[in-house]
A and B are shown apart, each in its own frame.
Chain A
Amino acid sequence: MKPVASYGIVNADTSGPGAFLRAAKWYWDELTDMFSAAGFSSVMIPMVPNTENVSRNGAPICTASIRTRFGSLAGYLEYLNDKDIENVECIGVSGQAMYNSLFETGLPIERFYEGFYEYAMDAAQALKDLKGSTLLVSPTPGKGFLLQEFAGDEEKIRNFEKESAQCLNKIAQDCEKLGVNVAFRNEFWTTMRGTGVDEYIKLLSDKVSFALDPAHLYMAEADYSEYFRKYAKQSKVVCFTDTKYVDTDKAYETISPEFPQSGASQRIYWDLGFGDIDFTSLFETLKTSGFEGPVILEPKYSLDIPKGILRMRTFWNRLEKEYAAKEAR
């Protein structure tokens, strides 16, 4: 298995001292150096759709911002290689990011998946240029946004979800020509959250794999260990995210699922190894299933980035060490 460090460790849209500086290139220069210093040679980048406003951002937040800062994707790869990062293993695209961009682009919801396809294929082409393997797709916006958009009409939401599957199949078909795998995520706020993944998979071609993520399964009250056993063999990529969050107030169907506005707990993500997920057993499941692909380490929205990166390395080292010790026994 290959550990891949995710740029999702940084919440570029958060508040506090230095928040504005996260849009500066130097910040991401340092971040890249820190990943490398912590022994990671591959990264995952979550990307948003290209808009003129975000293209001037110093963060590699979309393909347009990369082209603005580095001239080309090849120029960016050269820059990464110089910092001892070999490739961008995965790029993430998400229905929620697409939905968020509608405020700025004015694209009507009826043309959502037309825009989403373009956004995903642009990212897939970038991924090929950056020597990556897998496009990670979160195919719908949050359930809460869809409830609002469709005034609570569940049938319209189901149809929207079906449309997402058709779009995903088309993306996978065209990605195959690029030599890029497609895997989908089911975050706890998506319409196919938790156990809903079983039905959703029936709508997909065998070109689309399911990217397991224990934290999101846990938050959707699914048995993540069971899902790892069930889907490990088909996986092209796995995401490791940690949490302690119990969704007592149904944040998943609000329009602010990642930032719960009520409840005793309002924090969703924790640095790896600091939440309640039993990664030791998941690591073993993946090993015994013969999974050899990339594992995205995503301590999303860490409160202390340098510390979060070091914790990522410590976390991975410990998993490998514990597994080796068990094997030796």
Chain B
Amino acid sequence: MEERNINYTYMTNLWGVINYKQLTNFDEWYMGDFNSAYYYQDWDKILRYFAGAGFKGIELMVFSVPSIRNAFGSMKNFKEFAQERGIERITGMFSHHVGSQDKNNHAAIYAYEQQAIDALAECDGINLIVQPAGQYYGTGPLDEDGLKNVAECMNTVGRMCADKGLAVSIHNEFWCAVNKYDHEKFLEMTDPRYVFYCLDTAQVAIMGKDILHFYDTYHDRVQYFHLKDTTYVNAPDEKRFGPGAEFDEKGGRWFWEPGGGMLDFKGLYELMKKHHHKGWVGIESDGTPEPLATILLTKNYIDTVLDPIYK
């Protein structure tokens, strides 16, 4: 394997919920329907698409744990199945702390997260990536106590992760109850020994933050990334704070593959080089209408634009 400072891992949520381990009968999905469904429903092929495009790691959504267990019997079996297909590491899992602003919900969140942590540990993962609170609509803005409770919840889950040899990182969605006006404040309220930050470049840019300034300032906390692009930098509050803001009412697309939008990835990579970042870097492409095209465009962008700057 080539010596690199960074390797790439791909969040699998761009595919939706993958229900099958392996489909074998092409005809029953093709004859009479004559479409491509056979190619997009099983882990066997989807893992091979990632590996075939040159990605060595994947990340999972916590929501996929039950369906993976249904299909494979255990997360460990899933990990071995992925390795046989060229995926070296299941690096991360996305989860969320809906309701964390209220301490009364913490016990249920910890119980839920313990399931996620156990599942991630079982497949030898690295990093639990956490949306720190529910959507802004109906929850935000958070008062001081609410924000403290969200931070306390994150710190506790951070310690739970550390007990299993994992890390936890904040993934701050542009529509989250923790938002533009308390973004850095919230990060500083969390315990740097246990809680890291996963910089989702598009989410944070849509929120109205300068991602280069943020990374340069907090590079010691930013140990993980979700690289994705956007054409919608600094969205107004009413767009981010509306009901179900993540899913645009008219079908508009928030997120693009790196290089498909306006973000300065070259600048970011110069900073990553400056700060000697090492580890797995995640790609997330939620919302693409065509996963295979997006995966290949992303790999090409890494090879031709990002790698020459820092790899």
Residues of chain B contacted by A207 (CB below 8 angstroms) = none
Tally of A-B residue pairs with Cβ under 8 A?
133
B226 to chain A, nearest CB (A): 15
Binds A, one of B21-29, B179-187, B196-204: B21-29
A65 to B292, CA, bound (A): 30
CB distance from A75 to the nearest CB of B (A): 12
Binding site of A, secondary structure by majority: helix, strand, loop or mixed?
loop
The interface size bin for chain B is 35 or more
Q: A15 contacts which of B17, B28, B247, B248 (Cβ < 8 Å)?
A: B17
Among A24, A104, A244, point to the contact of B251 (Cβ < 8 A).
Answer: A24
CB contact between A261 and one of B71, B134, B137, B288 (< 8 Å): that residue: B71
Binary per-residue interface labels of chain B (54-81) against chain A in the complex, 1 for a CB within 8 Å, 0 otherwise? 0000000000011101110000000000
Give Cα A261–Cα B23 distance, bound, in whole angstroms.
8
* Bound: A15/B96 CA distance, A: 21
- Cβ contacts under 8 Å, A13 to chain B: 16-17, 19, 67
B163 beta carbon closer than 8 Å to chain A: no
Q: Given the known inter-chain contacts A20-B286, A21-B287, A26-B249, please indicate yes or no for A52 contacting B244, CB distance below 8 A.
A: no
A55 to B115, CA, bound (A): 22
Known: A14-B19, A16-B41. A303 touches B291 (CB 8 A): no
Judge whether B96 and A261 touch: CB under 8 Å: no
Please name the residue on chain B nearest to A144 by beta carbon: B70
Closest-CB distance, B103 to chain A (whole angstroms): 15
Q: Are B247 and A58 in contact (CB under 8 A)?
A: yes
Q: Are A259 and B16 in touch, CB under 8 angstroms?
A: no
Which one of A76-84, A86-94, A263-271 contacts B? A263-271
The chain A residue sitting closest to B22, CB to CB, is A261
- Contact between A53 and B98 (Cβ–Cβ < 8 Å)? yes
Cα distance A106–B104 when bound, in Å? 13
A52 to B25, CA, bound (A): 38
Encode contact with A along B3-20: 1 for CB under 8 Å, 0 otherwise.
000000000011111111
Known: A270-B32, A274-B32, A304-B35. 11 other contacts (CB 8 A): A17-B289, A20-B288, A25-B247, A26-B250, A56-B247, A100-B66, A104-B112, A106-B108, A255-B69, A259-B70, A266-B24
Shortest 9 CB-CB contacts between residues of A and residues of B? A19-B16, A16-B40, A56-B244, A26-B251, A256-B70, A13-B17, A259-B19, A15-B16, A106-B108
* Between-chain CB contacts (< 8 Å), 12 pairs: A14-B16, A17-B290, A20-B13, A53-B134, A56-B244, A57-B247, A69-B244, A255-B69, A256-B67, A261-B70, A271-B32, A303-B29
